[in-house]
Amino acid sequence: MALDTSQITGTNFVYQNFSFERFLDDMVELGRQRIELWGIAQHFHVPVATADDVRRLGAQLAEREQSLYCLTPEQVMYPVNLGSDLEWLRASSLAMFRRAAEVTAELGGEVLFLTPGRGREDEDVADAWKRSVDGIQQVAEYASTLGVRCVVEALQRSESNLVFDLDALARLDTDVAHPNLTIALDTVAMATAGDTVADYYATFGDRVTHVHLVDGAPSGHRAWGDGELPLADYLRVLDEHGFSGMMSFEIFGAAYARDPLRAHRQCQDAVFDALAAIRD
């Protein structure tokens, strides 16, 4: 399968200072029909979302002929951590992910996005690893009963002391060993770890099903062209391997906070140009 522009999702990353309606309308303007929803409090915070909130969100999507593809609850900066040694935090994190899986199913979504969490820097990392593996297994199993697939990504070392490179992600995948779990490739996390798209395919093959396509130097979450990563080369390798999943622009930062549409348009135009060059 050749890469296609329809594989770009609309995302509310960097829209936290705008209304949810503005985000959806901007995605309509860009022609984005499938949505990766970042679960931030300003738009849709899973732990407090009611049944009415879910119905309202579904109606807002439907009236614009959009659909949920992936739900990505906030789980790095918020108090959500599957690897925590605090029983209340781990229990509430598991409950949040279970509810997120239910919401994804209720809205007709396909994917629930997971991260490995982290342990304390002054504890044996093996203990946090076991907690994270167990938590991901539980979430993947519950989501499977709802027809929702889970994906997991590596984070940067500043975000996690558990999974921050390809080797650790491969070990996590082996230890979880659940058929309902596939792999997300984040280009910034990949680059900061010194890994490549080819490395991901050599390790996981077609189990790479989701991509956070974002520029960096090499870290940061920048719009295409505002960093130094060879994103066009990344797309070419994805195309060569017949990537059939979805790609999202995970943009953050003050540089984009006041005009997120411009940043998304910048990324989308660059993807269109890169794919056209691949076809030439």
pLDDT in tens, 20-42: 999 999 999 999 999 999 999 99
Can you give the pLDDT at residue 23? 98
Average pLDDT, the chain: 96
Can you give the pLDDT at residue 259? 97
At 279, the pLDDT band (50, 70, 90 cuts) reads confident
Can you give the pLDDT at residue 198? 98
Cα 150 from Cα 112, distance rounded (Å): 5
| Residue 88 reports pLDDT greater than 90 | yes
DSSP 242-260: T--SEEE----STTTTT-H
Query: Helices (DSSP H) in 41-108: which residue ranges?
Result: 51-62, 87-106
DSSP 10-38: EE-TT-TTS-HHHHHHHHHHHT--EEEEE
Can you give the pLDDT at residue 204? 98
At 262, the pLDDT band (50, 70, 90 cuts) reads very high
| Residue 81 reports pLDDT greater than 70 | yes
Q: What is the CA radius of gyration of the chain?
A: 18
At 2, the pLDDT band (50, 70, 90 cuts) reads confident
Can you give the pLDDT at residue 76? 84
Cis peptide leading into residue 79 (ω within 30°): no
| Residue 232 reports pLDDT greater than 70 | yes
Quick one: average pLDDT of 251-266?
A: 96
Can you give the pLDDT at residue 1? 64
Q: What is the pLDDT of residues 115-129, one digit of tens each?
A: 999 999 999 999 999
Q: What is the pLDDT of residues 140-196, one digit of tens each?
A: 999 999 999 999 999 999 999 999 999 999 999 999 999 999 999 999 999 999 999
Quick one: average pLDDT of 78-87?
A: 93
Q: What pTM was computed for the model?
A: 0.96
